[in-house]
Amino acid sequence: MNKTELVEIVAKEADLSKAAAASALDAVIAAIVTAVSKGDTATLIGFGTFKPSKRAARTGRNPQTGNELKIAATTVPRFTAGAGFKAAVAGKKAAKKK
């Protein structure tokens, strides 16, 4: 599924125009990107959590020449799927909390 197909599904399910659905989707994505880039986490209950993760500096190797090169430390986005999402992908019902 690509963004256009997702916009069409959201428009149909939420009874919105495609333009309104695209605008809403863009706003959600922008809010998540902004939060994670500032170092915060974005949690969507049942779907998952987006958070920044630090990656340490390391030594890599150029596959063509075999020369070692230094790869700088960086911060990357990380996604952890929620229980409901995991259960849906596995084809199971999500466990209810007691």
- Domain spans in the chain, listed from the N-terminal domain onward: 3-90
Please state which architecture CATH assigns to domain 3-90.
Answer: Irregular (4.10)
Banded pLDDT at 94 (limits 50, 70, 90): low
pTM of the predicted protein model: 0.80
The predicted-structure confidence for 65-74, as pLDDT tens digits, reads as follows 999 999 999 9
pLDDT at 97 over 70: no
**According to the 3-state scheme, what is the secondary structure of the chain?**
CCHHHHHHHHHHHCCCCHHHHHHHHHHHHHHHHHHHHCCCCEEECCCEEEEEEEECCEEEECCCCCCEEEECCEEEEEEEECHHHHHHHHCCCCCCCC
